[in-house]
């Protein structure tokens, strides 16, 4: 009995260590973002802030186009996600349900892209986008993001489609419904949870992407959130208070998303990799 209690005690110490390890950097970012500059730039900072000040948050929006950066990211990641779901669900359905020659090849073609190092196509993609005048535009980032996220989208969606009972589709076909209208009216509504899970992953990926955004959007007004946060500099010192404030601002919506859709995100992440 005593032995068991001791084990439980150590187990919960382990849990506490894990929680502190993963959450402390966020706590520290919040604390640093509300600390007055005089305290922030001192070598001995208290673990708990005694004076609270919101200057950093105000400066992020008044001294920089950060509101515009958030808008850019929302437009780019939102459009990329929607388009990717439309295009990817079609392919995912074909792979899961339709029988056609060369399916294995199509699959390999799609999956091989997920292995592409982004930097390998960076230079040429820049040339191509420049030749059609898409540098420093939204489509110049949305289109590459669709290509980057479509392998994962197709792969997870075909897993969801495969797990759906076939009977409803078969009944629709027997009633004379065509492939396309069956897909639209029966399959898509039934697979809504899968679409949400996949869409969340696509959105998070596009929202977080850095290398393409850094290279294809070169005007501060067109920066996405990650580029803006990477580029924060000041005249004399690194504006750490502002960097932390901006980090907290973009982390909060993601935390909310994670808390609400925890199970869906995990389902999307692990779909396909666990079944093997």
Partner 1 sequence: MRVKNIDPLHRTDPIYAAIFVIPTLAVIGFIAFWPLGQTFYNSLFKFALMYPQSKVFIGFSNYGKLFQDSRFMNDLWNTVRFSLWSVGLETLFGMLVALMLNKKFKLRGLVRAAVLIPWAIPTVVSSQMWRWMYNDNYGIVNSLLLSLHILKKPIVWLGFPATAMPAIISVDIWKTTPFMILLLLAGLQMIPEELYEAARIDGANAWQRFWSITFPMIRPTLGIALIFRTLDAMRVFDIVYVMTKGAANTETLSVYNQWTLFTKGFIAPYFGYGSSMSVMIFLIISIFAFFYVKTMKIKLD
Does residue 247 bind partner 1 (CB under 8 A)? yes
Does residue 142 bind partner 1 (CB under 8 A)? no
Stretch touching partner 1 by CB under 8 A, among 48-56, 64-72, 149-157, 189-197: 149-157
Nearest to partner 1 of 6, 111 (CB atom): 111
Tell the burial category of 272 from Cβ atoms under 10 Å away from its Cβ (0-12, 13-18, 19+). Answer: middle
Does residue 57 bind partner 1 (CB under 8 A)? no
CA neighbor of 245 nearest in space, from 70, 26, 30, 24: 30
Stretch touching partner 1 by CB under 8 A, among 58-66, 99-107, 133-141, 191-199: 99-107
- Contact with partner 1 (CB under 8 A): which of 120, 219, 235, 236? 120
Residues 190-209 that bind partner 1 (CB under 8 A): 204, 207-208
Does residue 9 bind partner 1 (CB under 8 A)? no
Stretch touching partner 1 by CB under 8 A, among 56-64, 133-141, 163-171, 188-196: 163-171
Cα 187 to Cα 22: distance, rounded to the nearest angstrom: 39
Gyration radius (Cα) of the chain, Å: 24
Residue 46, classed as helix, strand or coil, is: coil
Stretch touching partner 1 by CB under 8 A, among 64-72, 133-141, 188-196, 221-229: 221-229
Does residue 181 bind partner 1 (CB under 8 A)? no
Does residue 98 bind partner 1 (CB under 8 A)? yes
Residues 10-49 that bind partner 1 (CB under 8 A): 11-12, 14-15, 18-19, 21-23, 25-26, 28-29, 32, 40-45
CA neighbor of 24 nearest in space, from 32, 35, 36: 32
């Amino acid at each position: 009995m005593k032995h068991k209690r001791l084990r439980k005690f150590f187990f919960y110490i382990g849990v506490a260590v894990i929680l502190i390890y993963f959450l402390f950097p966020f706590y520290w970012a919040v604390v640093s973002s509300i600390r007055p500059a005089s305290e922030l730039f001192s070598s001995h900072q208290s673990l708990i802030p005694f004076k609270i000040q919101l200057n950093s948050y105000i400066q992020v929006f008044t001294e920089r186009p950060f509101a515009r950066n958030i808008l850019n990211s929302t437009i780019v990641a939102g459009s990329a996600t929607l388009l990717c779901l439309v295009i990817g669900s079609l392919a995912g359905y074909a792979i899961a349900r339709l029988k056609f020659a060369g399916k294995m090849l199509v699959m390999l073609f799609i999956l091989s892209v997920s292995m592409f190092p982004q930097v390998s196509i960076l230079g040429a993609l820049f040339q191509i986008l420049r030749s059609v005048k898409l540098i420093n535009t939204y489509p110049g980032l949305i289109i590459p993001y669709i290509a980057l996220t479509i392998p994962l989208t197709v792969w997870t969606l075909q897993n969801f489609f495969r797990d759906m009972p076939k009977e409803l589709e078969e009944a629709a076909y027997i009633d004379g419904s065509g492939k396309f209208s069956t897909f639209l009216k029966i399959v898509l509504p039934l697979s809504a949870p899968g679409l949400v899970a996949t869409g969340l992953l696509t959105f998070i990926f596009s929202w977080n992407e850095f290398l393409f955004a850094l290279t294809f959007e070169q005007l501060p007004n067109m920066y996405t959130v990650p580029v803006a946060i990477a580029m924060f500099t000041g005249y004399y010192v690194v504006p750490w208070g502002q960097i932390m404030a901006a980090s907290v601002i973009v982390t909060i919506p993601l935390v909310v998303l994670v808390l609400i859709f925890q199970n869906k995100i995990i389902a999307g992440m692990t779909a396909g990799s666990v079944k093997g």
